[in-house]
Amino acid sequence: MPAFAELADGVRRLLAPNPSMMTGPGTNTYLLGKDAIAVIDPGPAIARHTDKIIEKSITSIRWILVTHTHPDHSPGVRALAAATGAEVLGMPAPTGQHQDRTFKADRLLTDGDVLETDEFRLQAVHTPGHASNHLCYLHGQLNWLFTGDHVIDGSTVVIDPPDGNMRDYIASLRRCRSLEVAALAPGHGEIIHDPERVIDWIIEHRLQREAKVLAAMQANPGLTTHELVPLVYKDIDPKLYGWAERSLLAHVLKLQEEGQGS
């Protein structure tokens, strides 16, 4: 993936230098607008990435938005806000592990809130599931949805309870599906130009996985989630079993909430 790309008129993408098994090529930072800039997800706190955001913004940054407060998406906010004086927007970080506790919003967003300039209209869409405070942003002119970690390119995301919730995740996917957007701009990977096909695939894939979880639980009563992982995730690298166990637990909790499983 290129480190910098012009994706559409007034939409630019910078790739943060944090590639890993969990982040793929790295975290995408999006710059919207030309006269007044909105930055979506400044990424991790890496000085050379923050410098690049300022350099590529050309004009002044008015807003800094986050999709959620995981460590690969929001810690870069602090230095960028300090350097630019831009207003920071998002939902507060929940308590618990794997949260960026440095995140402080100047203005809290809720579902349906709109930011508008002469160039673009951006609407916050609350999409809990991967994280309880996850927001997607709908760009009205392009009809693109900036999806953070709700939908990423080429991979599935971890649903890590208790902040991650599989029932919410699938409900949020269905909601995004109903928006009938033209493209998804994910937090990791390339633009997705066939959103409905990809969202349908993710929902189907999750429900198939859930059916495997239920079948494995019924065939092997009393097994722990740790013991169930190799039975349910035969198709993945054992190095990922730790994360798979979190998603498996999310499926078990969903089944329990729905009165299935035990």
Torsion of the alpha carbons at 191, 80, 25 and 4, rounded to the nearest 10? 60
> Could you tell me the smallest distance in angstroms from the CB atom of residue 164 to Zn ion?
9
Rounded to a whole number of angstroms, the minimum distance from the CB of residue 212 to Zn ion is 24
Q: Which is nearer to Zn ion, 57 or 67 (CB)?
A: 67
State yes or no: residue 149 binds Zn ion (CB under 5 A): yes
Using DSSP bridges, classify how beta strands 4-8 and 11-15 pair: parallel, antiparallel or unpaired.
antiparallel
Identify whether the C-beta of residue 80 lies closer than 8 Å to the C-beta of residue 42. Answer: yes
β-sheet with 37-40: strand ranges across: 4-8, 11-15, 28-32, 37-40, 61-65, 87-90, 107-108
CB 117 to Zn ion: min, Å: 27
Interface of this chain with Zn ion, residues 240 to 259, rule: CB under 5 A = none
Pick between residue 49 and residue 70 the one whose CB is nearest to Zn ion.
Answer: 70
Q: Smallest distance from the beta carbon of 13 to Zn ion, in angstroms? A: 18
Shortest spacing between CB 77 and Zn ion, in angstroms: 15
Nearer to Zn ion, 41 or 62 (CB): 41
CA distances to 158, 186, 203, 254 from 241, in Å: 11, 24, 21, 20
For residue 104, give both structure tokens.
């402080």
Alpha-carbon Rg for the chain in angstroms: 19
Smallest distance, Zn ion to C-beta of residue 188, A: 9
If the CB atoms of residues 149 and 245 are measured against Zn ion, the closer one turns out to be 149
Q: For the CB of residue 149, give the shortest distance to Zn ion in the complex, in Å.
A: 4
Cβ distance to Zn ion smaller for residue 70 or 78: 70
| Cβ-based nearer residue to Zn ion, 67 or 225 | 67
- Are the beta carbons of 39 and 31 closer than 8 angstroms? yes
Span from 83-91, 103-111, 144-152, 210-218 in contact with Zn ion (CB under 5 A): 144-152
Residue placing its CB nearer to Zn ion in the complex, 67 or 84: 67
The verdict on 70 binding Zn ion (CB under 5 A) reads yes
- For residue 209, state whether it binds Zn ion (rule: CB under 5 A): no
Distance, in Å, from the CA atom of 121 to the CA atom of 119, rounded to the nearest integer, reads 7
* Among 49-57, 145-153, 213-221, 244-252, the segment contacting Zn ion (CB under 5 A): 145-153
For helices 166-178 and 195-219, the axis angle rounded to 10 degrees is: 160
CB-based contacts of 213, cutoff 8 Å, min separation 6 = 228, 232, 248, 251, 252, 255, 261
User: Using CB under 5 A as the criterion, which residues of the chain lie in contact with Zn ion when the complex forms?
Assistant: 70, 149
